[in-house]
Structure 1
Amino acid sequence: MSDNDDGGRRNLRMPEDDEVFATVTNMLGANRVRVRCADGVERTARIPGKMQKRVWIREDDVVLVEPWDWQDEKADITWRYEKQDADQLRDEGHI
């Protein structure tokens, strides 16, 4: 019997105070992507160096972004969800 008996539900990383869910809409190149955030704002997001070679980000991926304090139209990507995790977030009504 598996450890989690609730139909395969996994505990996912949820946004902290300054993070929002976003969907990648466009790859811009030079470690930049265009994202549509859950708060309705389109932002240019930066893929940080620690994620560049380890995490592959594609269009339509669900990510967590941290909007910049001093420029609201820009953000940093802090986390990328796998497809099944994104589906779980949709099913539970988070995004």
Structure 2
Amino acid sequence: MYNKSGKTNDAPQQVTRVRTPRAEDREVLATVENLLGASRVKLRCMDGVVRMGRIPGSMKKRNWIREGDIVIAVPWDFQDSKADVIWKYTRPQVSWLERKGFLKG
């Protein structure tokens, strides 16, 4: 592969670390189905439950969450139908998760 100056680009590919959900912290992978407004999203979790997710302020400032994104959610202890979104995956990270078998379907 050649860059603009005509030189080859033989740089090694970067290895990206992908955060996986921790079962001991009750973290599950989820897909964002709908944006509900007021920092709320509808999540389809990998454990088969559809939950209402809340995006905390620290994530709201950093990340832009859209429909179809893959996220890590932590279900609430006292109300299993709701969860907090704690992590959003990028496209290369999602393809890595699919290759390694973390995402079903």
Q: Normalising to structure 1: TM-score of the pair?
A: 0.89
Q: Larger helix proportion, structure 1 or 2?
A: 2
1:15 touches 1:64 (CA, 8 Å); kept in 2?
A: yes
Q: Deviations over 1:53-95 (max 9, x none)?
A: 2100000000000000000000000100001111110111011
Give the equivalent residue in structure 1 for 2:30: 22
Q: Deviations over 1:17-71 (max 9, x none)?
A: 2100000000000000000000000000000010112100000000000000000
CA RMSD of aligned residues (A): 1.3
Aligned positions of 1:6-45 closer than 5 A? 10-16=16-22, 17=24, 18-45=26-53
Higher Rg of the two aligned structures: 2
Higher relative contact order (CA 8 A, sep 6+): 1
Q: Which runs of 5+ in 2 are unaligned?
A: 1-10
- 1:10 CA displacement: 2.7
Task: State how far apart, in whole Å, the 1-side matches of 2:61 and 2:48 are.
Answer: 29
Moved beyond 2 Å, runs of 4+: 8-11
Task: State how far apart, in whole Å, the 1-side matches of 2:71 and 2:19 are.
Answer: 11
Give the equivalent residue in structure 2 for 1:83: 91
Aligned residues: 91
Identical-residue share of aligned pairs (%): 48
Amino acid at match of 1:67: P
